[in-house]
Amino acid sequence: MVQRWEANSCGYHGDDGNLYHGSGTGEAFGPTFTTSDTVGAGINYASQEFFFTKNGAVVGAVYKDIKGLLLPTVALHSQNEELVRSYLLHNGYEETLKAFDVASKNTIPSLYIAQENGFGEQLIAYALAQRKTVRQLIRNGEIDSALSKLHEWYPQIVQAGALEEAVHYGRIELAKFFKLPGFDDLVRDCAALLAYEQPHQCSAGYLLEESQREIVADAVNGMILLTDPNVKDAQSCLRSHLEMLLRQLTVCCLERRSLNGDQGESFQLHGALNTSTAGRAPSANMPLL
């Protein structure tokens, strides 16, 4: 996410083992590292040095000439990172996962890897083919077909269509969100859909537009993952590791700006990601499913 050669930065690079210290020119520093290696970094305040470790052994140290707040960062950029695989598995992008394996020249079956790695992907590989099918139906606007598949495969997810109970639930539970900035209008619009026989024609009809289908597909995907009897942490099914990482990045950047007295440009995630990927080959915006 963050370029290792930014000003006031110091980073140990896995591909070449070089140290990047505020510039794009690396210095020979230590051995390379990759998947399965454990790499650490720390500060020796007595000697005012940064030091780096690999698998428990000290690689080397460099003088700490950076003043001010220090923020530890891990930058991932290799094609075959587990984070990418985790995202594709979590969201049910089966065909994209296969293409990813081909592009990264990975000959081990995706589901085997999902059972072996440390990301808990044995859980998010659950019902991959079914989740792919349901997501595709929702994205294509084939809602009746999607509901039919849910009735067939996961009847516990599909309720009986009890609108009165839904309205009652909204009054009791969703009312808690009515006064929260950022939630008020959205919750009211969602609740309003239940009150109209032709919701497409009401003011909240935008929620039924094509642009909203991916959001619905994500929510249904998470609910399917929750049907896995091996799930112990329900929250882990709602967001992929990649999304949680990006949320953490956003919070850290906002906190850093706050510590600087809210000085400088406001943090925008899309802008930061576009900057960090400048110069790379463009990738498809939408997974293949």
For residue 58, report the phi and psi dihedrals to the nearest 5 degrees.
-70, 130
pTM: 0.57
**Per-residue confidence (pLDDT) for residue 196, from 0 to 100:** 82
- Determine the average pLDDT of the residues in 242-271: 81
Residues 130 and 233 placed together within one structural domain of the fold:
yes
In a domain, 189, yes or no: yes
Of 75, 92, 107, at which residue does a domain stop? 75
Rounded Cα gap, residues 2 and 12, in angstroms? 13
Rounded Cα gap, residues 118 and 83, in angstroms? 11
Of 239, 254, 270, at which residue does a domain stop? 239
**Per-residue confidence (pLDDT) for residue 244, from 0 to 100:** 83
Residue whose C-alpha is closest to residue 41's, from 14, 79, 22, 68: 14
Instruction: Give the strand order in the sheet containing 11-12.
Output: 11-12, 18-20, 27-28
Rounded Cα gap, residues 250 and 244, in angstroms? 10
Domain span at residue 6? 1-75
Maximum average pLDDT range among 77-91, 118-132, 256-270? 256-270
Tens of pLDDT, residues 23-57: 778 889 999 998 788 999 998 888 889 999 999 99
Say which residues have a Cβ less than 8 Å from residue 245's Cβ, sequence separation at least 6: 83
Alpha-carbon Rg for the chain, nearest whole angstrom, is: 23
pLDDT-above-70 percentage for the chain: 81
Query: How many structural domains are present in the chain?
Result: 2
**Per-residue confidence (pLDDT) for residue 1, from 0 to 100:** 34
Of 220, 239, 258, at which residue does a domain stop? 239
Residue 64 to residues 5, 46, 48, 239, Cα–Cα distance (Å): 15, 11, 5, 37
Which of 107-111, 155-159, 169-173, 181-185 shows the lowest per-residue confidence on average (mean pLDDT)? 107-111
Which of 12-16, 230-234, 274-278 shows the lowest per-residue confidence on average (mean pLDDT)? 274-278
pLDDT at 158 over 90: no
Residue in the structure block whose two tokens are 């539970």: 173
Residues 62 and 154 placed together within one structural domain of the fold:
no
**Per-residue confidence (pLDDT) for residue 279, from 0 to 100:** 44
In a domain, 155, yes or no: yes
Residues 56 and 149 placed together within one structural domain of the fold:
no
In a domain, 118, yes or no: no
Tens of pLDDT, residues 197-208: 888 888 888 888
pLDDT-above-90 percentage for the chain: 17
pLDDT at 194 over 50: yes
Q: How confident is the model at residue 122 (pLDDT cuts 50, 70, 90)?
A: low
Residue whose C-alpha is closest to residue 90's, from 248, 247, 231, 239: 239
pLDDT at 124 over 80: no
Tens of pLDDT, residues 231-256: 777 777 778 878 888 888 888 888 88
Residues 141 and 59 placed together within one structural domain of the fold:
no
In a domain, 58, yes or no: yes
